[in-house]
Structure formats: structure tokens, C-alpha cells
Amino acid sequence: SQQGEEDPQALSIQEGENATMNCSYKTSINNLQWYRQNSGRGLVHLILIRSNEREKHSGRLRVTLDTSKKSSSLLITASRAADTASYFCASRGSGYSTLTFGKGTMLLVSP
């Protein structure tokens, strides 16, 4: 299985603090993506990083990828209460056409 694992399973922080979530995967990948899910419904695509990239930024989001360690991290800076959600990493394995999702990190940002 390619399934990734997020760490931690749950994270609770105060508004204004940074939140860091980690993801590990098992096989070589073409790209890795992060998604956010509110209230257990549809997921929203946040950012995609390709296997030949090491870091990518989008607004308050910073994603890193270390293919030698088969791991990625998502950093949310200056968090807001509206960032409260579950965050999933998803990897597209080499030779595969679909994404494999981890079980997610539940982030709670308190005002």
C-alpha cells in the first residue's frame, strides 16, 4: 500500500501561532498534495508539490518535500480560527493514476 500517514493525529493551538503537520509515504511519487476538509464533507485542494521540488509556498502555506525520507510537511503560519479543519496529504505514486490519502490531522485553532 502507498498509504501515507499524517502526524500528529490532532493539533490544538492558539490563533496567531504556527501549525506544522507532517506526512510520510511509502513508495516513490510523482507528486504530493495537501487538502483541507471542513465538517467531514468535501475536500479542498490546497497545494501540490512535484517530486523534483523541495519547497513551495502559497499565501500562509509552506510545503516541503524530502523524497529521500519519503516525507512532507505543511506549515500554516499565523493561524486563524477559520483554519480549524482536518488536513490530508495525498500522494500520487510513480506509475499510478490516482491519489492515495492519509488519515489526516485534525487542527483546532482557538481564538
Partner 1 sequence: GAGVSQSPSNKVTEKGKDVELRCDPISGHTALYWYRQSLGQGLEFLIYFQGNSAPDKSGLPSDRFSAERTGGSVSTLTIQRTQQEDSAVYLCASSPGEGDFYGYTFGSGTRLTVV
Q: Please report, as ranges, the residues that interact with partner 1 according to CB under 8 A.
A: 3, 30-31, 33, 35, 40-45, 48, 50, 88, 90, 92, 97-104
Cell of 17: 501561532
Judged by CB, which is closer to partner 1: 42, or 111?
Answer: 42
Judged by CB, which is closer to partner 1: 16, or 98?
Answer: 98
Q: Taking the complex as a whole, how short is the minimal distance between the CB of residue 63 and partner 1, in angstroms?
A: 12
Q: Which residues have a Cβ under 8 Å from the Cβ of 102 and sit 6 or more positions away?
A: 3, 4, 5, 6, 23, 88, 89, 90
Task: Give me Rg for the CA atoms of the chain.
Answer: 13
Q: Taking the complex as a whole, how short is the minimal distance between the CB of residue 16 and partner 1, in angstroms?
A: 28
Give, as one character, the DSSP assignment of residue 3.
Answer: -
Q: Taking the complex as a whole, how short is the minimal distance between the CB of residue 43 and partner 1, in angstroms?
A: 5
Q: In 3-state terms, what secondary structure has residue 83?
A: helix
